[in-house]
């Protein structure tokens, strides 16, 4: 009898507490999204309106004028094309090569497997600062050797390759832990049927990897899209830059064009926001596949 | 357990015997291409940087490389006060992330996992900054903090006499840290939330029935059960604090002199002092500081495999 009373009291207290917690976290949540909302709002206000009435006035009109201007004056289509040229092959190659590694490491018992996996994962954790000086020299040397200095340095291929080399560690790690969940019997029956290693990978394992590959695609696309460091240190021509590092430069150039910059930032954020709202399950599962195993 | 081990041992032998030359070639290519790419573009440059940190080099001809011993390090430790400022800033960064941002992310995950009212909205709100690039983050916060930005406006500061959030040495590091936390808290929340899904709800109910308070439940049930995730989250916090670069670069450019951190020092010395390989030495120091967390991460994730 008395335990039930205690329980009820306890529950009531907990309920009140939960409401307080909800309100508290809620206020912070609003503060959290506010900077983004404010940028969105600034991007929709015409420049003249802002000039005349100030930032805190009630807007007379809201329109997409800044967006059209930003696209035109900031050269955004070019930056977006560069981003696509870099991101699509980089994601594809990362996943393809990573899945090859993961396939061998998790389906065949070689003594070097764990060492290789460790080595790849460790490589993925190195700070980029430790790599870029010799990499930069190496790219230039390779370029000079083939007679065209800009074969890798200041070229989309150079950025693609370093992304692939770097992110492959993560992809291998995630895919190999995913592959461990695929029953061994599937591989064994393939072997008994006399399937070659090639068939075993392409016809049997690869199709089963689809969910993990989908998650990784979303995650890798977001990461490579958002990369700032490699594009910055490995390109010198502005017209080769992807949108993220291009935006870094535009920040300086359009510093007084308050709402134009706001529109530019919103446009640059749009692909990642679309991913966020449409594919967030994949994003989260890709992230957690890699980090919360064990 | 034992029988499966023997099983896999025998199948290992039979498999190895079954490899045709074509299969061997396929396996070689499957491992060889990714490994070569990874070694050439990641490990060789990494090791070269460490080697170069002991040299003087203008960076043009390989013949010009001269052995410097510890001269670059000596220079950094004894004649470069900005290094100590940077180190101090990185330590503050680590303390802020470790004592404020990461715990907040964990607590947030815990509350959201309990499905308190509004949890779906909270999750969305805290998670949005995680997908935004730091370039966009920089611009967004610049709108909030610049002289004619929102915060100065709401404080009623005139544009001619604003609070200089990025310029004032007293708080600009904390302004940067707030921006960095905007992203970090959501990231930690996501990681922890995924881990919490795996915690048996029965444990929590039992604690509630015993009359344990929320805080006791969290401390005595959740934290110990989540040990593996805790380690990962801690390691990520450390690595992120050391690697920090983008946000400072976005706000201050390569000069970054106002808020020096190790991640940007590497740059200043690349473009500025071409004679030495001080930049490489900075990068090596950054690496030495990262070794601890990297090993902790590897130990945690490969615990089962190595056994």
The most confident of A49-53, A184-188, B300-304, by mean pLDDT: A184-188
Phi, psi of B59 (to 5 degrees): 90, 10
pLDDT at residue A36 in the model: 93
- Tell me which chain A residues have a C-beta less than 8 angstroms from the C-beta of B116: 18, 21-22, 25
Helical packing angle, A210-226 and A156-179, nearest 10°: 150
Instruction: List, for residues A216-266, the tens digit of each pLDDT value.
Output: 998 899 999 998 889 988 998 888 999 988 887 787 777 777 788 889 999
pLDDT at residue B274 in the model: 52
Question: How far apart are alpha carbons A171 and A70 in whole angstroms?
Answer: 36
- Bridge partners of B55, per DSSP, are B67
Across the range A153-169, mean pLDDT stands at 94
A40 and B CB contact within 8 Å: no
Residue A138's pLDDT band (boundaries 50, 70, 90)? very high
- Tell me which chain A residues have a C-beta less than 8 angstroms from the C-beta of B209: 7
- pLDDT over threshold 60, residue B12: no
Tokens 């930056």 found at: A79
- B67 versus B256: which is more confidently predicted? B67
Phi, psi of B161 (to 5 degrees): -135, 55
- pLDDT over threshold 80, residue A142: yes
Closest to B255 in 3D by CA, of B270, B244, B241: B270
- pLDDT over threshold 70, residue B283: yes
- Residue B190, number of CB atoms within 10 A of its CB: 23
Tell me the torsion sign for CA atoms B183, B189, B192, B194.
negative
Query: Is A291's CB within 8 Å of B191's CB?
Result: yes
- Asked if B72 and B226 touch (Cβ cutoff 8 Å), the reply is no
Residue B269's pLDDT band (boundaries 50, 70, 90)? low
- pLDDT over threshold 50, residue B179: yes
End-to-end CA distance of chain B: give it in Å, rounded: 14
Minimal Cα distance from B28: which residue of A? A104
Question: How far apart are alpha carbons A239 and B20 in whole angstroms?
Answer: 49
Tokens 């090569």 found at: A97
Question: How far apart are alpha carbons A237 and A82 in whole angstroms?
Answer: 12
Across the range A187-212, mean pLDDT stands at 88
Instruction: List, for residues B110-131, the tens digit of each pLDDT value.
Output: 999 888 888 889 988 998 999 8
pTM score, whole prediction: 0.88
Distance from CA of A248 to the nearest CA of B (A): 6
Query: Is A133's CB within 8 Å of B52's CB?
Result: yes
Phi, psi of B224 (to 5 degrees): -65, -40
CB pairs under 8 A between A and B: 284
CA distances from A109 to B113, B191, B211 (A): 39, 31, 51
Token pair belonging to B147:
């002289």
- A137 versus A59: which is more confidently predicted? A137
Contacts of B95 (CB under 8 A, 6+ apart): none
Q: Which of residues 175-204 of B touch A (CB under 8 A)?
A: 182, 190-191, 194-195, 198
Interface test with A, best of B136, B182, B213, B248 (most A CBs within 10 A): B136
Token pair belonging to A3:
């335990």
B116, B211, B300: residue with CB nearest A10? B211
- Asked if B225 and B199 touch (Cβ cutoff 8 Å), the reply is yes
Contacts of B219 (CB under 8 A, 6+ apart): none
pLDDT at residue A191 in the model: 82
A181 and B CB contact within 8 Å: no
């Amino acid at each position: 009898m008395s335990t039930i009373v205690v329980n009820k009291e306890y529950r009531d207290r907990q309920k009140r507490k939960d409401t307080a917690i909800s309100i508290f976290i809620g206020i912070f949540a609003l503060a959290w999204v506010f900077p983004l909302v404010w940028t969105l709002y600034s991007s929709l206000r015409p420049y003249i309106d802002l000039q005349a009435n100030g930032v805190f006035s009630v807007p007379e009109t809201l329109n997409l004028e800044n967006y059209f201007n930003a696209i035109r004056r900031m050269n955004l289509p070019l930056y977006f094309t560069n981003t696509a040229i870099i991101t699509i092959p980089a994601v594809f190659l990362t996943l393809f090569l990573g899945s090859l590694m993961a396939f061998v490491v998790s389906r065949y018992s070689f003594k070097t497997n764990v060492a290789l996996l460790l080595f790849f994962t460790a490589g993925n954790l190195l700070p980029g600062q430790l790599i870029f000086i010799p990499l930069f020299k190496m790219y230039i040397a390779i370029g000079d050797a083939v007679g065209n200095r800009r074969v890798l340095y200041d070229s989309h291929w150079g950025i693609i390759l370093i992304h692939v080399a770097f992110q492959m560690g993560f992809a291998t790690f995630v895919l190999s832990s995913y592959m461990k969940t695929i029953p061994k019997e599937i591989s064994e029956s393939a072997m008994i049927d006399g399937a070659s290693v090639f068939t075993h990978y392409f016809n049997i394992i690869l199709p089963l990897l689809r969910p993990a590959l989908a998650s990784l695609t979303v995650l890798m696309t977001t990461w490579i899209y958002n990369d700032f460091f490699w594009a910055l240190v490995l390109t010198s021509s502005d017209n080769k830059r992807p949108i993220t590092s291009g935006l870094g430069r535009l920040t300086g150039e359009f510093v007084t064009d308050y709402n134009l910059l706001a529109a530019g930032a919103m446009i640059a954020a749009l692909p990642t926001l679309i991913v966020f709202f449409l594919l967030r399950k994949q994003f989260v599962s890709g992230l957690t596949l890699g980090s919360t195993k064990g | 357990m034992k029988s499966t081990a023997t099983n896999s041992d025998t199948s290992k032998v039979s498999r190895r015997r079954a490899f045709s030359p074509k299969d061997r070639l396929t396996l070689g290519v499957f491992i060889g291409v990714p490994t070569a790419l990874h070694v050439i573009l990641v490990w060789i440059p990494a090791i070269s940087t460490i080697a170069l940190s002991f040299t003087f080099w203008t960076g043009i001809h390989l013949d010009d490389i001269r052995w410097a011993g510890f001269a670059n390090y000596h220079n950094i430790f004894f004649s470069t006060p900005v290094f100590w400022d940077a180190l101090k800033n990185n330590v503050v960064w680590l303390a802020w992330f470790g004592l404020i941002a990461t715990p907040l992310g964990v607590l947030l995950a815990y509350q959201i996992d309990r499905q308190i009212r509004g949890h779906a909205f909270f999750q969305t709100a805290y998670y949005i900054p995680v997908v935004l690039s730091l370039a966009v983050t920089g611009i967004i916060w610049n709108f909030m903090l610049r002289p004619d930005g929102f915060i100065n406006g709401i404080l009623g500061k005139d544009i001619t006499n604003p609070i200089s959030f990025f310029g004032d040495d007293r708080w600009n590091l904390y302004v940067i840290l707030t921006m960095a936390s905007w992203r970090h808290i959501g990231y930690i929340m996501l990681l922890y939330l995924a881990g919490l899904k795996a915690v048996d709800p029965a444990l929590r109910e039992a604690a509630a029935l015993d009359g344990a308070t929320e805080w006791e439940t969290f401390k005595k049930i959740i934290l110990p059960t989540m040990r593996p995730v805790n380690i990962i989250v801690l390691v990520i916090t450390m690595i992120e604090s050391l690697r920090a670069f983008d946000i400072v670069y976005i706000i201050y450019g390569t000069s970054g002199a106002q808020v020096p951190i190790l991640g940007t020092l590497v740059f200043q010395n690349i473009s500025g002092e071409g004679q030495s390989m001080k930049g490489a030495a900075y990068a090596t120091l950054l690496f030495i500081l990262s070794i601890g967390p990297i090993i902790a991460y590897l130990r945690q994730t490969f615990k089962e495999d190595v056994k």
